[in-house]
């Protein structure tokens, strides 16, 4: 369970950073 939670947080963090980096060309509404 802890592994799944850690993996989920890692994926969400990576996705957030990716969206912030790509935000210059693709506006993201949060």
Domain spans of the chain, in order of start: 1-25
Quote the mean pLDDT of the chain. 82
pLDDT above 90: residue 9: yes
Q: Which of 19, 17, 14 is nearest to 27 (CA)?
A: 19
Provide the Cα torsion 14, 19, 22, 27; round to 10°: 180
Q: Which carries the bigger pLDDT value, residue 22 or residue 3?
A: 3
Which pTM does this prediction carry? 0.56
Q: What pLDDT does 21 receive? A: 82
Asked if the model's pLDDT at residue 29 lies above 60, the reply is: no
Reported as a pLDDT band with limits 50, 70 and 90, residue 16 is confident
CA distance 11 to 17: 10
24 or 30: whose pLDDT is higher?
A: 24
């Amino acid at each position: 369970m802890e592994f799944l939670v850690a993996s989920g947080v890692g994926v969400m963090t990576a996705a957030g950073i990716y969206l912030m980096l790509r935000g210059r060309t693709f506006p993201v509404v949060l």
